[in-house]
Amino acid sequence: MNRKPGILLAAAILILLASCTKDRKLTSTLKTGSVVVNELLAKEGVGGGSDWIELYNSTTDSIHLSMDKTYLTDDSLIHDKFKILQDITIPAKGYYVVICDSRSLIDSVGRMHTNFNLSGSGEHAGVYYREDTALVELDYINFPAQTADISYGRSPDGSNFFTFFTSPTPGRANP
């Protein structure tokens, strides 16, 4: 009895499975926690500015967020509420601030504006990434009621400890 065809078939299947696993790992460039909602301001008071969300790259490599695959939301049930309007590269340990004022545009100085506002009474703020046909949670927070001109965020950057900041730090390190 010749076992070579069976051995060759088994080897081919193992090679195919190994290559699928390898390809899957290569396409999963973003992991939960690599980009986090680091700080936000949901109740602007004096000065009449807008709500904003600060994203933070917690890794030691630059991260590219594709406009075809990255979403922001203020709704815990609708994760693809706002598809980002341009590709974003966040440097290692860097920040990107998105304005939340329901305008859905890139303004004249290059700032991205979402199609939603944040609720000062507290709600959800999340960032999601499309992986094949599924939306993968990169990060979200359910934040409490806010006070005018006081931001809410992680201290230090990227940590799991949240606090209020009387001096907001959009685009800069949190105390």
Q: Where are the domains of the chain?
A: 1-29, 31-165
Decide if 128 contacts 80 (C-beta within 8 A).
Answer: yes
| Global confidence as pTM | 0.81
- Of 3.40.50.1000, 3.90.76.10, 2.60.40.1260, 3.30.420.40, the CATH number of 31-165 is 2.60.40.1260
What are 111-140's pLDDT values in tens digits?
999 999 999 999 999 999 999 899 999 999
Q: What is the DSSP string of 90-112?
A: E-TT-EEEEEEBS--EE-TTS-E
What are 136-171's pLDDT values in tens digits?
999 999 999 999 999 999 999 999 999 999 999 999
